[in-house]
Amino acid sequence: MSELFNAITLRDITIRNRLGVSPMCMYSSEDGRATDWHLVHLGARAVGGWGLIMAEATAVTPEGRISPHDAGLWHDDQIAPLERITHFIKNCGGTPGIQLAHAGRKASTARLFSVPHPGKALSPSEGGWMVVAPSPLPFDKQSPIPHELSIPEIKTILAAFAAAAVRALNAGYELLEIHAAHGYLINEFLSPLTNHRADDYGGSFTNRIRMLLETIASVRHVWPQRLPLAVRLSCVDWVEGGWTLEDSVALARQLKTAGVDLVDCSSGAVVPHASIPVGPGFQVPFAQTIRREAGIPTAAVGMITEANQAAEIIASGKADLVLMGRQALRDPYFPIHAAATLGCKKAIAFPPQYARA
């Protein structure tokens, strides 16, 4: 049987196979609360046989949302809709995961699919708000100048991550991911392109990774030791003078010591002018390098669309998990179809309700 369908255990959680659904914003929440859309969207992937089903970037504060329609876990009344989803996923044999995030200077935008330019900031009357960042550098010419966070304000955000982690636990999640990629707040602290601070949170590599390490410490303090913690990284900025793969390896070694169990290896999006050589599996080498050199499990992402492609990534030891985004949108039942393609039909339990098909 293909190793793609072998289970993997992280701490006390066993994920039924190596295929996962990447966290993808749906821009369909109501005041941060999940809706029936999220239940059907994520539930369909659980029925389709995915091992790890990740909820989208979920803001730890209202101001940390990308748009007014983003998911959130800053209030207790946002727990119940998520608990309904995790209950369904687990009943289908899947592992529910959630990504906690703060959008930083890329917050306060219009919903992605409702405006021609997603980087355009909203006015307060439309739901917009002041954006924050490590330094007062706008994302692009259309974006507002962010407020530079003070150290007390940083501490408040650290506490918000911890509080959201407790709510995620109460909602039934079994894997937690901290979003430190794609140009959002923690990524902005990591990259020298966006962090021009002169205090303990800027300048040297050690100072620039401080925000992430303190976030991990605050979350790990409340997130049970039996449950795995992941971090999504933009492993390179794709811009000269920016964050490098060598930086990611050095950071991953510290993440392992800090109690992180998985590095989700993406890239880019911290600045708008990066030149990215997009192609099938273009980010897989990041997962392979970090796995080999830092000795920590990794997830590979980025234009992975075929069963044989995913199987080769796992079989060759390039990553421990394969997370899919757009392919998971196109085919909720990809694991079932992949099992058939690879001659492993018995690897995925077909839902009994669908057995007649």
List pLDDT tens digits, range 312-350: 999 999 999 999 999 999 999 999 999 999 999 888 888
Q: Which pLDDT score, from 0 to 100, does residue 305 have? A: 98
Q: Is the pLDDT of residue 74 over 80?
A: yes
Tens digit of each residue's pLDDT (9 = 90 or more) over 85-125 = 999 999 999 999 999 999 999 999 877 665 444 455 554 43
Burial tier of 332 (Cβ tally within 10 Å: 0-12, 13-18, 19+)? buried
Domain with residues 3-350, CATH architecture = Alpha-Beta Barrel (3.20)
Q: Is the pLDDT of residue 77 over 80?
A: yes
Q: Which pLDDT score, from 0 to 100, does residue 112 have? A: 66
Which amino acid is located at 215 in the chain? T
Cα separation, 268 vs 262, in Å, equals 19
Q: Which pLDDT score, from 0 to 100, does residue 128 have? A: 73
Q: Which pLDDT score, from 0 to 100, does residue 254 have? A: 98
Greatest alpha-carbon span in the chain = 65
For 46-70, what is the mean pLDDT? 97
State both tokens at 42.
């994520």
Q: Which pLDDT score, from 0 to 100, does residue 70 have? A: 96
* 3-class DSSP assignment, residue 1: coil
Query: Quick one: pLDDT band at residue 127, thresholds 50, 70, 90?
Result: low
DSSP string, 17-44: SSEEEPP------BTTB--HHHHHHHHH
Place of tokens 């800053």: 74
- The catalytic site residues sit at 184
Query: Quick one: pLDDT band at residue 1, thresholds 50, 70, 90?
Result: confident
Q: Which pLDDT score, from 0 to 100, does residue 179 have? A: 98
For 236-262, what is the mean pLDDT? 98
Q: Which pLDDT score, from 0 to 100, does residue 294 have? A: 98
Q: Is the pLDDT of residue 126 over 80?
A: no
For 75-91, what is the mean pLDDT? 98
Q: Which pLDDT score, from 0 to 100, does residue 115 have? A: 41
Angle, alpha carbons 75-79-80 (nearest 5°) = 135
Which amino acid is located at 163 in the chain? A
State both tokens at 354.
């669908």
Q: Which pLDDT score, from 0 to 100, does residue 125 have? A: 38
For 147-159, what is the mean pLDDT? 98
Q: Is the pLDDT of residue 300 over 80?
A: yes
Tens digit of each residue's pLDDT (9 = 90 or more) over 206-242 = 999 999 999 999 999 999 999 999 999 999 999 999 9
Q: Is the pLDDT of residue 357 over 90?
A: no
For 182-199, what is the mean pLDDT? 98
Q: What is the pTM of this model?
A: 0.95
Q: Report the candidate in 30, 1, 35 with the shortest Cα–Cα distance to residue 18.
A: 1
Q: Which pLDDT score, from 0 to 100, does residue 84 have? A: 98
With residue 158 as reference, give the H or E element that holds it.
helix 151-170
Give the residue extent of every domain in the chain: 3-350
